[in-house]
Amino acid sequence: MLMFMLSLFVAAAQPASLPTSTPPEDSPSIMSVSTSVLDGHWVGGIIVPAGLTIPFELHIDGTVGHFAAPDQGASDIPIRVALSENNVVVEVPSANARFEGILSNNKSVLEGQWTQGERAFPATFRRASSTTNSPGTMNRPQTPVPPFPYSNEELSIPGGATDVRLGATLTVPVSRNERHPAILLLGGNGPQDRDETHAGHKPMAVIADHLSREGFAVLRFDKRGVGDSSGDYSALTGPDLVADAIAALSYLRRHEKVASDRICILGLSEGATIAAELTRSGQVTCVILLSPPGLLPIDLFVQQKRDVAAAAGMTTDEIDLLALVVQQQLEAVVRGASRSEIAAIALDAGLTDAEANRLAEEWLSPEVRTLLGNHPTEALTGYVEPVLIITGGLDRQVDPDLNLPPIRRALEGNSEAQFLQFDNLNHILQPALTGSPSEYAEVDITIDHQVLNAMVDFLESTLGPADAE
């Protein structure tokens, strides 16, 4: 799910060096046209490898304004703005970044491409309401704040390799019990910290807080090479993710405050695939899969590219060609082809050098590499212990209509499998209007209360009451 290293976008920003008024007339890259129709606060972001979205914000005032990247604590970075008919250009000179897009007919959406250096990503911004927070600040009412009715243990635990330590947090209820039923949380794709921080949201912290208030111990950890965890994220593979999760499960089972025979694994998106792998261990009582992929990774990536291309207005023939190129490129990545060989597939199909290189870079990224070896449903085939699958009907990253059928087939002999779908929720299980990833930052709610309550009901029915001896 949801996070990406943003140092590429904001590390070079030096706001003091930027103009704070209309750019000079000799600037050839910006158009001097009235932009008053754009005035106000815009929220949205860019879509990066594996369908992840990075939240960005714009505050426009005439031909100038400010840019913010909330996940990185970056705000008040000056920008230059121009409008010609419905064509919009936003420049962030200090970061060598530029947005080019189209203003919708109702003047409420900017759709286009964000470029920085040689990299380019689809980007969408929506006009925020007058009640929306100022750029760089977000209302997140579910984010836990002290005092807590449970203890927080900050840990460094063994990872899945001898030289890896995982920064982690264990929340433990304060009660008369010596040992508690426990949950291990596994986040989505990308360099996730233990809270899965994204768009100002901290979904894993929200889940841990809710479950620990209900009497469950909860362990969550930073991915390898992220936050307080050692190791190299850029070299991370799918088997590494599984190894680290197994190591965290082993630590949890040995903890003096945990009932080792009452443990559940909860995974979101890619984490759901890892959670399914851990069922092979025979050491878990149940699993909770949130927005789980069911398609093979190549099929999922091809479908995501089709969806993005359709949203961008490409023709059916153009979409089919792009899908074929993506399919062949990903198959080449799995075979171990070189970057030049992967790019050549796109060049042979008629894509430009820039397009071919951007796709090659995307498919060789760690975010994609960790997914390509996954078989999302293999571990679930024949699994007979309790499983709760929760999906959102507005999921635009892992479409439940396409991804649930393979999961249902894998679990068809499991009478303990429960499927819940909430029609108005998106991929990260927020209430949504369209489900577009660009909405994630706009929604104050981190996880819908129906989902949190469903988790508790399932856990109490499978692990037993949290206050049981």
In a domain, 231, yes or no: yes
* Three-class DSSP category at 186: strand
In a domain, 82, yes or no: yes
Cis peptide before 147 (omega within 30 of 0): yes
> Which structure tokens are listed for 109?
């959406």
In a domain, 468, yes or no: no
DSSP 83-142: EETTEEEEEEGGGTEEEEEEE-TTS-EEEEEEEETTEEEEEEEEEPPTTSPPTT----TT
In a domain, 145, yes or no: no
Kindly compute the dihedral angle of the four CA atoms of residues 296, 299, 300, 303, in this order, to the nearest 10 degrees.
-160
pLDDT at 22: 36
Are residues 278 and 427 both part of a single domain? Answer: yes
Are residues 168 and 269 both part of a single domain? Answer: yes
Domain boundary among 372, 393, 415: 372
96: alpha, beta or left, given left = phi > 0 and alpha = psi -120 to 50? left
Are residues 234 and 212 both part of a single domain? Answer: yes
CATH number at residue 271: 3.40.50.1820
Find, among 370, 210, 203, 373, the residue nearest to 290 by Cα: 203
Q: Which helix (H) or strand (E) holds 66?
A: strand 64-69
* Three-class DSSP category at 254: helix
Are residues 380 and 279 both part of a single domain? Answer: yes
Q: How far is residue 436 CA from its own chain's centroid?
A: 12
Question: Can you tell me the distance from the alpha carbon of 417 to that of 332, in angstroms, rounded to the nearest whole number?
Answer: 36
Q: pLDDT tens-digit profile of 103-157?
A: 988 888 898 888 887 677 888 888 876 544 544 567 899 999 999 999 999 999 9
In a domain, 123, yes or no: yes
Are residues 251 and 171 both part of a single domain? Answer: yes
456: alpha, beta or left, given left = phi > 0 and alpha = psi -120 to 50? alpha
Domain that holds residue 265: 150-295+374-462
Q: Which residues of the chain have pLDDT under 50?
A: 1-34, 131-132, 134-135, 469
Q: Give yes or no for a contact between 279 and 287, defined as CB atoms under 8 angstroms apart.
A: yes
In a domain, 137, yes or no: no
Q: Give yes or no for a contact between 100 and 110, defined as CB atoms under 8 angstroms apart.
A: no
Question: Can you tell me the distance from the alpha carbon of 277 to that of 416, in angstroms, rounded to the nearest whole number?
Answer: 18
CATH number at residue 70: 2.40.128
Are residues 280 and 335 both part of a single domain? Answer: no
pLDDT at 367: 79
Are residues 16 and 113 both part of a single domain? Answer: yes
Question: Can you tell me the distance from the alpha carbon of 87 to that of 58, in angstroms, rounded to the nearest whole number?
Answer: 16
pLDDT at 179: 92
Are residues 446 and 435 both part of a single domain? Answer: yes
Are residues 396 and 445 both part of a single domain? Answer: yes
Q: Is 178 exposed, middle or buried (0-12, 13-18, 19+ CB in 10 A)?
A: exposed
pLDDT at 358: 82
> Which structure tokens are listed for 92?
């962030």
Are residues 283 and 400 both part of a single domain? Answer: yes
* Three-class DSSP category at 198: strand
Domain boundary among 353, 372, 391: 372
- Residue 433 half-sphere exposure, CB side, CA atoms within 13 Å? 7
Q: Give yes or no for a contact between 154 and 430, defined as CB atoms under 8 angstroms apart.
A: no
Question: Can you tell me the distance from the alpha carbon of 391 to that of 399, in angstroms, rounded to the nearest whole number?
Answer: 9
Cα–Cα distances in Å, from 55 out to 203, 207, 266, 284, 443? 15, 21, 25, 35, 12
Find, among 416, 422, 409, the residue nearest to 388 by Cα: 416
Q: Which DSSP letter does residue 49 get?
A: G
In a domain, 204, yes or no: yes
Token pair 């369209």 in the structure block, residue: 434
pLDDT at 108: 87
Domain count of the chain?
3
Question: Can you tell me the distance from the alpha carbon of 77 to that of 16, in angstroms, rounded to the nearest whole number?
Answer: 9
Are residues 109 and 212 both part of a single domain? Answer: no
pLDDT at 17: 31
- Crossing angle of helices 353-363/339-348, nearest 10°? 140
> Which structure tokens are listed for 280?
């092979």
In a domain, 135, yes or no: no
Find, among 427, 411, 430, 419, the residue nearest to 458 by Cα: 419
Are residues 174 and 115 both part of a single domain? Answer: no
